[in-house]
Structure formats: C-alpha cells, structure tokens
A and B are shown apart, each in its own frame.
Chain A
Amino acid sequence: MITPVTTPYLSSQRAGRDGFMALLHAEWTKFVTVRGWVIGLLLAALVTVGIGLLIAQGAVCSYGPFPGQPTAEPCTGPIGPDGEAVSDSFYFARRPLAGNGSIIVRVTALTGRYSASGAVQPGQDPLAGMQPGLQPWSKAGIIITASTRPGSAYAAMMVTGRHGVRMQDDYTRDVAGVAGAPTAAAPRWLRLTRSGDTLTGYDSADGRSWIRVGIARLAGLPPTVQAGLFAAAPPDSVASSQAPGASRETGGPSQATGHFDHVSLRGRWPRGAWRGGQVDGSGEGSGSPSLGELSQAGGRLTVAGSGDIAPVVSGGAAPGMPIENTLVGAFGGLIAVIVVGTMFSTAEYRRGLLRLTLAATPRRGQVLAAKATVIGAVTFAAELAGSAVAVPLGARMLRAHGNFILPVSLPTQLRVAAGTAALLAVAAVLALAMGTVLRRSAGAVTTVIAVLVLPYVLVTAGLLPAGASQWLLRVTPAAGFAIQQSVPQYPQVSNAYTPFNGYYPLAPWAGFAVLCAWTVVALGLAAWLLRRRDA
C-alpha cells in the first residue's frame, strides 16, 4: 500500500520574515558564528577582570610605622553621618550642653603657619621650621557636635583662611556667610543656636544685627551635645604637577590659630573652664597632637589646631581610593571591543558578504541599525558580567591589602559598573560606525583608539597643562569616562581634582552623553555613506 505523497503547490515553510527582528537575528547569527569575535568579547571581559585583580593584588596601603607603634597601620578613616568617608580631626575646646542653648563668640584674627618643606618625619618636632601662612580652608570658630567620636554629626560656624565666614554641617554641606578675613578693626561675630535637632548659624559685624547664614537639621542629635570652640588646618596643598612619575606627595602639616573674645553662652552649660583636646579621626594614623593648643587669659581665648573637618577626597592628604580603580582593566577590554566592533562591519567588505547582506535587505540604514544593536547589546552583556565580577572581587582584594575604598552608595556603584559596560558598548558601536565609514579595519581601530583612549592617556600622563586636559575631556569621546567617577568634588576641600585622581570636568551622565553624541554623528555619517556608496 503506497501512501500518495502530495506535493503542495506552495511551500508550507513560512515565508521569510522581513522585519527588523529578522535582521537582528541575521546579524546575531553572523556574530556568534565567527569564533574570533566571540573570543574577542570574552577576552574583553576577562581582561577587565584580570587587570583589575592584578592591580588589587599590587595595591598595598599602609601608614607608618609611627613612633611608639612598631607596626604599620592599615589605611582607614571614619565614616560620616551620610555614609561618606570623612576627615574629622581638629582641636576642640569644649563643654557639654544639655538641651537647647546657644554660643556666641567674637573672632578678632585667624593666623596660621605651615611646614613648606613637606611631610614631617616621625620623631621630628612638627613646629620646627614652620613659616607663617594660612591655608585657604584653614578654619576656626564654634561647633556643636553629637560627640567627640570622629565622624559624629555636627554643625559649625567658622572663619576661614580665604573663603570668609562659613557655616558647615555634616562634612559635605557648606554655606557662605560674610566674605573677608577677620581683623582687630573688623572682627567677625559668630552665633550657633541649638533647638532640638535644628542648629542655626548667624554671623554679624557688630554683635547686634545678626544675619542668618544657614540651618542644619541633624536627625537624632542626643539631648546633651558637645559644644565649644575649634581650630583646624588641612595640610599644605602642594601644587605639584600630577605626573605619574612623581610620587604623590602630600604637603607638610599646617596649623591655624583662632583668636576669640566676648564668648557668651545661653542654656544649661556647666560652670568651669573649657576642656581642650584633640579629636583625631584624620585617617592618617598618629595625627599631630602637639599642634593643638588652648590658652585662656581674661576674656580672651586662643585655640590652635591642625587637621580638617571635611569629606575625604581621592588624591588628598587622607588615604582613600575610589571604587572605579577596580575597573581600570576596562581599558584593556575597551581596546578588544573596538577591534571586534570594527571587524563586525569591515569583515563584510573584505569578504564581499556585504553584497549578499544588502541583496537580502536593501534598506541599508536598517542593516546598520541591526548591526549596531547586536554589537552594542552583546558588548554590554559581556562587559556587564566582567564589571559585576571585577568590582566586588577587586574591592574585596583591595580591602584585604589594607586599602581604604571611599564608600559610595549602591546606586553609584551600580552606575559605575553598568556605566562602564555601557561605555564599552557605545565604543563598540562607534567602532562599527567608523569601520563602515572608512571600510579599512586597521585605520578605523586606530582612529577610534586615538579619539577615545589617547586623550585619557595624555591627560593622566600629566604632560599637558590643566586647561588643555579639561578641554580634551570635555569635547573628545573620551569625555565618556566620566561615567566612572564615583566620588564628588567638594569646593570646600583643596585638592587636585584631576582625572588622575578620579575627577572629570563633566558630570557622569553629561560626559557619557558627549560620547553618545559622537557615536550618533558617526552612525549618521556611516548610514549616509552606506546608502550613497556602492557596496
């Protein structure tokens, strides 16, 4: 018995799909069936992880050993109320204040001295060889703080070396008051009032008409707080070029002295004298207790101190490493991704495959869009996996070697890790576009590396002047590296805010947008040329 086989007039096979999804599927198939490209992307992810861990292995941070302490200390520091790393080191003349109250002082002068010859060796008298001079952010004034434990919540009114009267609270917030320096002829009056969780700062030129500078709300302030007068001076900031060859020298210690009188207290303050003492949370190990001093004569008080009450910045005096240092391997990954992205388009020209591709899909713009989507998505996925391993594992190894990683919020960590993957994905699309424009793989790879990696190399080399460096990282595609910046700049901390230390001239997403804009322009040019030129 033979079953008749009927041959259908039309194939039962579905007609070839013609939508964008089919194009994506075709480009995806082309990508995964070329072993070299898949290996290239895996290599990119592996290089990201591998170099990151190698760096973590080699980065050892320790301070000391200091006199009286035979072993070196790991680098660490206190954490402020908002979770950021802080320097909290100052000389404090204090009394406990129970409940609400206020403190008023008159500042007649702020003087200072500093060691111009750099860091002081252990065992050396820090005051020997100091010369007079104030740091821009040397400060003295009045402060109300939850406790003397470093990292406590606080609000303070102060005069500063070069930035006039300031109200600062909880390390990161900073409000300007009256400008200019206090003198005997033009003294500054400062007032700080506590009412529950609210601290209000005022300044005045005569002690009668007061101007409110700012209000700080310190949640969970205990009933009894420590209040009084303080002085702090950050180390002399050395304006050396940030060349990698030069060691990252921090300046010598400095000291600020505030001259106060007309101290008046309201509220429940204990009787007796001010108690002087050093709050030490500099993260620099021993600190310099001998630089702090309190003297009282009649109604006049002089408070001298060293250190700073401020957030820790990368590259500053206090140790601290930004989390994106675990992702330096992404530079290696970037080069691999650029090579793969370029080949994804130029290989079609070389093998003549493009004629077939364009015969199958005559809408050339869509072919390019499909290619860009596939290479972007695949790169993002591969590099996201690499970042997801490199960041936590690298951070863990760095901590194990005594490094202090500047704490940042989880969203910031995710932005750094995912942003790096996005950076590489966009770079791959840029390479694809340049490959289509130039149709020469080596030329396209060189071009993309020259516009994306070279500016960053030039800037970190420290050869160019600061202005040119900033300009390079604003207008070239290398601006996209800003997406990796995890710690913000603080105007109230003097520091070299350079890419070398992890600071970029543009905000993270703004820098990334510059890279994206370049990529869109390159894609547009590629689409136009693809349509105009014979394949």
Chain B
Amino acid sequence: MSSPVPAGQARRSAVAGQPGRLSGAVHAEWTKLRTLPGTSWLLAATIAATAAASAAAAAATSCLPDVACPADITRLSLAGIDLGQAMVALVGVLAVSSEYSTGMIAATLTAVPRRPAVLAAKAIVVSGLALAAGIIAVAGSLLAARLLLPARGFTAARGYPPLSLADGPVLRAAAGSVLYLALIALLSLGVGTLVRDAAAAIGVVLGLLYLFPVIASVLTDPTWRRHLEQIAPMTAGLDIQATTGLSNLPLSPWVGLGVLAAWAAAALLAGGLMLQLRDA
C-alpha cells in the first residue's frame, strides 16, 4: 500500500535532501547563515572596522625629517586586522553557538545525522565568508594606506615606494592576512563547537588571541618571550604581515601562519570530537 510520491516533492528532496552528502549540508549551512541578518551585518562591520582602523593607523603615522620612520609600512597598513579579527571570530562562534541557544541544533543534526559533515559544512561556509570579507577588507586597508601614506611623508624619495601588490612581500602579507582571517574564523568555529555558549566561546577565542601578547610583554627572559611568541596564535599568525626584519621574527611568515592553522585544526578537531561524543 504505497501512495505515489508527487513528482515535484521527489525532485526537491533529490536536490537538497540527500542526508549525509556534504554538498547538501553545505547548502543548508549557507542558507542558515545567509538568512541571518546578523551575519551580513557582522561581515560588513569586519570590512568597515578593518579598513577604518588601518586607515587610522596610517593617518596617525608620519615620516618627518629627523624622526625615525617606522620601517614596516605594509604591516602598519594592515593594522586593522587586529580589530577586524574580533568580528570574524564572532561570525565563527555564532555559526554554531546560535544553534545551541535556539535549539536549532536538534533540527540540524536530525537533517544531517553525520555530525562531522555538519561541522565540515559549517567550516566551509564560514571560512568562505571570512575569505570574501577578508579580501575586501585587506584591499580597502591597502588602498587607504596607499592614498594616505605619501601625504604623511612616506615618499619614494625617502625609500618608501607606494604599496603595490606586484611587490612579492606585500602580496604575501596581503594574501596572508586574508588567510589569517579565515583561520581565525575556523578557530572560532572550533571553540564555539567545543564551548557551545556564545559569550563564553567568544571570551575564550579573544582571550587566546589577545592574552598572549600582553603576557609576552612582561617576560624579562628573552628566550621565554620568544617561545611564547612562537606559540601564540595571534602573534605567530600575524608574522605573515611582516615585510622587513624577517630574520628577527620569532618565526618565518609562513611558519607563523602555520602555527595559527595548527591552532584552528586543533580547535576544530576537539570541537568535532565533542560534537560526536556529546548529546546535542
């Protein structure tokens, strides 16, 4: 005794439904995140805050005669990432913790019972959004610096050619900063899955990011400080922005970003494990 399934309904389930298929899960996560008004607000805020803070840092700096000029204007031009990462972290945390606060997670896990797939889908969507916002934010920051810095005394005559992505280190710093934001989003997603409560999770993420540099600043032992700067997710990750004095960095740029990637991977792994083991 089987009633015929209407043709339209069958087609719809074939496109979106397929439980366990990653593409379906990604599509579901994309829909959830896209339709939350908070997400687009946060991404817009990320772009605005990053570019504005970078521009403010560039505008506050000047290269006057008989004053030592800051050496690394690329890093200075990307200073807004320090602020923008807080909002990207918020996107990453809220992507999962908002589901726990509303109880949506039960529906999500009913629809996609393979829990690693849920987390993987969230990771893909969240990092994609962070990459997109990051590209605009970094481009805006560099553009603002390129427009502002020559008027502040950073001229080619004084050894500061205009910032250009054709310059290898500048391109590496810019692309690395975009990747940095994506990794911060993934780290936040992992912590959010682990902690579940939004306020506590964002506290943990921002604590991980901001606490290490403060602690490192009071260490008198240079060896300890260097080690701390090598393992700190923010300090190590932002090594990717350095274009001068590379030999003095605690880590080389890409290795530094690798440290942040390891933090993000560890957070996602721990979050995924707990998602698998705990009741939702």
Which residues from chain A sit less than 8 Å from chain B, CB to CB? Answer: 36, 40, 51, 55, 58-61, 239, 241, 244-247, 321, 325, 328, 331-332, 335-336, 338-339, 342-343, 346, 350, 403, 440-446, 449-450, 453-454, 456-458, 460-461, 463-465, 467-468, 471, 500
Contact = CB atoms under 8 A, between A and B. Distances in A.
A284 to B, nearest CB: 15
A118 to B, nearest CB: 15
B214 interface: yes
B201 A442 contact: yes
Nearest to A342: B199
21 contacts: A58-B221, A59-B218, A59-B221, A60-B220, A239-B68, A241-B70, A325-B218, A328-B215, A332-B211, A335-B203, A346-B199, A440-B198, A441-B198, A442-B201, A446-B86, A454-B86, A454-B210, A457-B213, A464-B60, A465-B60, A500-B217
A40 B210 CA distance: 19
B213 A461 contact: yes
B202 A442 contact: yes
Nearest to A468: B60
A279 B235 CA distance: 44
Given A244-B225, A442-B202, A460-B217, A453 B210 contact: yes
Contact of B89 (A441, A446, A467): A446
Given A55-B219, A58-B219, A446-B90, A331 B199 contact: no
A332 B76 CA distance: 27
A245 B230 CA distance: 11
Contacts, number: 132
A450 B45 CA distance: 13
Nearest to A501: B217
Contact of B210 (A245, A339, A445, A457): A457
B122 interface: no
B137 to A, nearest CB: 16
A241 B79 CA distance: 16
A343 B250 CA distance: 37
Contacts of A350: 101
Nearest to B192: A442
Interface of B: 38, 56-57, 60-62, 68, 70, 75-76, 79, 82-83, 86-87, 89-90, 93-94, 97, 101, 197-203, 206-207, 210-211, 213-222, 224-225, 229, 248-250
A464 B202 contact: no
B214 A328 contact: yes
A458 B83 CA distance: 9
Given A450-B86, A454-B82, A454-B83, A445 B219 contact: no
Residue from the set B75, B89, B94, B213 with the largest chain A CB neighbour count within 10 Å: B213
Given A450-B86, A464-B57, A244 B221 contact: no
Contacts of B68: 239, 241
A465 B217 CA distance: 17
B82 A458 contact: yes
Contacts of A36: 197, 200
Residue from the set B57, B200, B213 with the largest chain A CB neighbour count within 10 Å: B200
B211 A331 contact: yes
A59 B87 CA distance: 34
Contacts of B219: 55, 58-59
B152 to A, nearest CB: 10
Nearest to B225: A244
A442 B94 contact: yes
A58 B213 contact: no
The 10 A-B pairs of least Cβ separation, nearest first, read A441-B199, A468-B60, A339-B203, A442-B198, A335-B207, A58-B224, A59-B220, A460-B217, A325-B218, A442-B202
Contacts of A450: 83, 86
A468 B250 CA distance: 26
A342 B216 CA distance: 28
A446 B206 contact: yes
B60 A245 contact: no
Contacts of A467: 60
B213 A460 contact: yes
Residue from the set A60, A332, A454 with the largest chain B CB neighbour count within 10 Å: A454
Contact of A61 (B60, B198, B220): B220
A62 to B, nearest CB: 10
B65 to A, nearest CB: 15
A465 B224 CA distance: 27
B194 to A, nearest CB: 15
A324 to B, nearest CB: 9
A445 B224 contact: no
A164 B219 CA distance: 38
A443 B90 contact: yes
Given A331-B215, A339-B199, 19 more contacts: A239-B68, A244-B225, A244-B229, A245-B248, A247-B222, A328-B218, A331-B214, A332-B207, A332-B211, A342-B199, A441-B197, A442-B198, A446-B87, A449-B206, A457-B213, A457-B214, A460-B213, A463-B75, A463-B79
A384 B89 CA distance: 31
A321 B76 CA distance: 30
A55 B218 contact: yes
Contacts of A442: 90, 93-94, 97, 198-199, 201-202
A332 B217 CA distance: 14
A442 B95 CA distance: 12
A449 B57 contact: no
Given A335-B207, A336-B203, A465-B60, A403 B248 contact: no
Contacts of B216: 244
Nearest to A332: B211
Contacts of A247: 222
B86 A339 contact: no
A56 B273 CA distance: 35
Contacts of B89: 446
Residue from the set A346, A449, A471 with the largest chain B CB neighbour count within 10 Å: A449
Contacts of B87: 446
Nearest to A58: B224
A465 B70 contact: yes
A449 B82 contact: no
Nearest to B93: A442
Nearest to B206: A449
Contacts of A445: 199, 202-203, 206
A446 B41 CA distance: 14
Contact of B203 (A239, A241, A338, A458): A338
Contacts of B56: 468
Nearest to B69: A465
A336 B206 CA distance: 11
Residue from the set A336, A442, A458 with the largest chain B CB neighbour count within 10 Å: A442
B173 to A, nearest CB: 13
Nearest to B198: A442
A208 B174 CA distance: 69
Contacts of A241: 68, 70
A21 to B, nearest CB: 29
B54 to A, nearest CB: 11
Residue from the set B82, B211, B216 with the largest chain A CB neighbour count within 10 Å: B211
Contacts of B38: 440
B202 A465 contact: no
A321 B203 contact: no
Nearest to B60: A468
A398 to B, nearest CB: 9
Contacts of A321: 220
